[in-house]
Structure 1
Amino acid sequence: MFELTDEQQELRDLARKVARDQYAPLAREMDAQRAHLPVAERKKIADLGLLALPLPEEYGGGGRPLIDALIVQEEFAKANPLAAWPIFEASAGPARVIHLFGTEEQKAKFLPPVAAGEKTIAISISEPDAGSAATDATTKARIEGDAVVINGAKRWCSGAGISEQYLVYVRFSEQPGGKGMGAVLVDKETPGLTFGPQEELMGHRGIGSADMFFDNVRVPVENVIIPEGGFNKLFTAFSVERLGNSTMCLAIGQEALDRTAKYVQERQQFGKDIIEFQTIQAALADMVVQVDAARLLIYRAAEQAGTGAPKQLDASIAKCYANEMVKRVTDAAIQLHGGYGYSEEYEIARMHRDAVGWAIAGGTPTMQRMRIASEYLGRRFDQRA
């Protein structure tokens, strides 16, 4: 059992109050209108010291362990996932790649605006023919003097067209697989970078998703965060992102559970509270077990990570379980709410729509199972063989 320290309890209480008071009332409307969180609100979260807790203090962050950030992220995501999105990106997203592997000059340049809420960095990996097989990416980058020139197309970038910066996975050479790959930071307003129409997604409304097109996009060579051959570093940092993803799932599952526990003690049929029926008790108990198990797996991985990255095995186990947990739990919540669960007014339907998206983003449970087997056995498996 993981016990929070007094300081972590206070942090959770602060995050819960801010999220419930300011952002929970906006959740349904923001989802319906596909409205993203305004920059001004992002800056408010930063001013409270809740936006970028794991980033070093010298760059404006909190200098605290990853688990502290996940505690904050969970409280915001329970109240309003769109309010939690910038916390996720700053604490567990591509900003952490710069934190863990960037040069001192890169950290000093790129991290303070993230910590201040002025900029959000989104991650751009997938392509029309490179999804789970990320190393099939064909977006090319060539170094010309003091610049990097990028050409290609990206798809399924969460935050595309809205975030101010993008960590773009690129191919520097024709070396096979990840050997020729690295990552470059690109500003949204860079000439040659354009965006397709915003996708109409089942869930994750307001985060933004669009195709990205790179036509001789030139950025300073200093924006190369991971040079050619550093693909393994990217996936080490991606283990942090997996815990951020898992925490979004945990938050949705916990909120669905809490609302369902309240509902089944108020709703009456056949003259009594429906919680009096054993089938309802069993269904609720299953929800409790699954949410609690997900929390323990996430906390185990986060505690081990400290201010760095978790073990890849622990992160993949947590993500695989949390992704599938949240779909089962939100589905059960819909069933236990009956017709009300199918109504957008009760928000359970929105939670289920978002749950499905988190199980796709950042590596599906199927891919996590492959990673789990590989890490557990200490063997690499060539999926192309």
Structure 2
Amino acid sequence: MTDFQLSAEQLELQTLAATVAREVYAPLADGWEEKHEPLPQSEVQRLADLGFLGICIPEEYGGSGAPLMDALLVIEELAKVCRPAAFQVFEANVGPARVIEFFGTAEQRKRFLPRVPTGELTMAIGISEPDAGSAATDMRTTARIEGDEIVISGNKRWISNGGHADHYLIYCRMNDSPGAKGIGAVVVPANAPGVSFGQREKLMGWKGIPSADIYFDKARVPLSNLVVDAGGFGKLFGVFSIERLGNSTMSLAIGQAALDKTIAYVQEREQFGRSIVEFQNVQQTVADMKIQVEAARLLIRRAAVNAGRGLPDTLEVSVAKCYANEMAKRVSDLGMQMHGGNGYTVEYGMERLHRDAHGWAIAGGTPAIQKVRIASELFGRGFNQRVGSAV
């Protein structure tokens, strides 16, 4: 499919999100950034009342049942101004709740999904561990079935919204099978016995998006919280492609915001007696920024449009994420250069865009890992990264 034109309804939704970003979040974002505060619950409720938290959730569970593209449009507009606000829409529409939608039981969908659009339930995802980042299948967190309960032991690291969300979809090892074969997923409430959280991470960016370790000391949850049993790692990462498109859209928003700020600045700033936009180097740099932003947008929209209401193509997602992540770093850096010394100050907001750009390039699988996935698709084979392993 090649027609990426937005419908009248999508344009209306995009305009609404842009208006909310400009009028509500633009005046508040700096304060939350400075204080390292997550989005207040009152603002989560605002997003719920606007219908932003249930865009992709099926109508039978209180959402709009809209295609993925609709959620990405809202995420982009909010993220241009305030990533913490966009992240709430991100988690609700492209996060772990979608795993429950696609692969959860009827009882789980009925129990969890209706509370997502209302803002009553926030769910984060736990995959990475201290010794299992890019090598996700090396995870050691275990989940053993004992009667009608699941007992979980281990440690998850770099958990976005860690210590702040009230539920977590934890990827864990369900049996002793090696690699992906033993991995499944369980929903764990934050207040379950045996669950604790580390101190909030001090990150370079993402000041309004909490990140913390989660510790499981023989934590117990009902067996009914098992979403995907051992051997379902492929299913889990199939849905994770949706989250990667959300991640790509965060990067797109950062690139677009850097471009917008730069276009305004180079027309106002004067040197050598004239506006710096009159210099060819500035013109060429801004044009290059525009080209990169638009290329990222088209790659993301291709994957989203082709996915519709289903799961996106993993190759299209890896290409989009890899390019968008790198684009955001490059374009925000060029924007800082175009701002000169002012780009290095907090006042102009360029340094925050650049810091956040690096965070989104790490989250959800780095560009380097995406390139390995792309190569696997192109050559039609897997590549084992472990030393001494047969290829």
Q: TM-score, normalised by structure 2?
A: 0.97
The equivalent residue for 1:73 is: 75
1:316 equivalent in alignment to 2:318: yes
Deviation at 1:376, TM superposition (A): 2.3
The equivalent residue for 1:268 is: 270
* 1:184 match: secondary structure: strand
The equivalent residue for 2:341 is: 339
1:39/1:118 contact within 8 Å kept:
no
Give per-residue Cα distances to partners, 1:273-327, cap 9 Å, x unaligned. 1010000001101100000000000000000111111000000000000000000
* 1:51 match: secondary structure: helix
The equivalent residue for 1:328 is: 330
Deviation at 1:28, TM superposition (A): 1.3
Matches within 5 A, 1:266-305: 266-305=268-307
Amino acid at match of 2:271: Q
- The RMSD of aligned alpha carbons is 0.8
CA distance in 2, matches of 1:169, 1:357: 22
Of 80, 101, 104 in structure 2, the residue corresponding to residue 102 of structure 1 is: 104
The equivalent residue for 2:134 is: 132
Aligned residues: 385
CA distance in 1, matches of 2:122, 2:255: 26
CA distance in 2, matches of 1:274, 1:345: 20
1:376 equivalent in alignment to 2:378: yes
Matches within 5 A, 1:10-29: 10-29=12-31
The equivalent residue for 1:306 is: 308
Of 84, 89, 92 in structure 2, the residue corresponding to residue 90 of structure 1 is: 92
The equivalent residue for 1:147 is: 149
Deviation at 1:383, TM superposition (A): 1.6
Pick which of 124-133 and 1-10 moved more. Answer: 1-10
CA distance in 2, matches of 1:190, 1:330: 41
Deviation at 1:378, TM superposition (A): 2.0
2:126/2:171 contact within 8 Å kept:
yes
2:151/2:219 contact within 8 Å kept:
yes
CA distance in 2, matches of 1:289, 1:103: 44
* 1:344 match: secondary structure: coil
Deviation at 1:266, TM superposition (A): 0.7
The equivalent residue for 2:220 is: 218
1:312/1:375 contact within 8 Å kept:
no
* 1:54 match: secondary structure: coil
CA distance in 2, matches of 1:120, 1:352: 28
2:4/2:305 contact within 8 Å kept:
no
The equivalent residue for 1:182 is: 184
CA distance in 2, matches of 1:78, 1:93: 20
CA distance in 2, matches of 1:98, 1:372: 27
CA distance in 2, matches of 1:167, 1:255: 32
Instruction: List alignment gaps of at least 5 residues for structure 2.
Output: none
Identity percentage of aligned residues: 59
CA distance in 2, matches of 1:307, 1:375: 23
Q: TM-score, normalised by structure 1?
A: 0.99
* 1:28 match: secondary structure: helix
The equivalent residue for 1:258 is: 260
CA distance in 1, matches of 2:310, 2:78: 23
The equivalent residue for 2:360 is: 358
Runs of 4+ in 1 over 2 A off after TM superposition: none
